[in-house]
């Protein structure tokens, strides 16, 4: 688990799922399984922008970038350069 994916997974578990002990595989489908809803998506965007000092432009606000922890980790890595 990379530092980025660990931080993202921890945020989802504690702030969105409200269960820091929950299991969250990095390929678990966050949107399809209803783990992240529209409010959670806004929280995730705000978190990654602040935590990783990046800007998530509108072109990246697509489901494929937020479908799982791994997809979001890849997005952060790409935006950080």
pLDDT tens digits, 11-60: 999 999 999 999 999 999 999 999 999 999 999 999 999 999 999 999 99
Q: Which residue has the tokens 């992240």?
A: 36
Residue 73: how many other CB atoms lie within 10 Å: 21
Domain edges within the chain:
3-80
This prediction has a pTM of 0.93
Is 3-80 assigned to CATH 1.10.1200.10? yes
Distance CA 20, CA 55 (A): 27
Distance CA 8, CA 6 (A): 5
Judged by DSSP in three states, 54 sits in coil
Distances (CA, A) of 65 to 5, 14, 19, 20, 21: 13, 21, 23, 23, 25
* CB contact at 8 A, 78 and 6: no
């Amino acid at each position: 688990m990379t530092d980025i994916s660990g931080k993202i997974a921890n945020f989802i578990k504690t702030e969105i799922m409200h269960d820091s002990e929950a299991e969250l595989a990095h390929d678990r489908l966050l949107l399809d399984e209803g783990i992240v809803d529209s409010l959670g998506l806004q929280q995730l965007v705000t978190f990654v922008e602040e935590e990783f000092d990046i800007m998530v432009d509108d072109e990246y606000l697509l489901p494929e970038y937020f479908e799982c922890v791994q997809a979001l980790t890849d997005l952060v890595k790409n935006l950080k350069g």
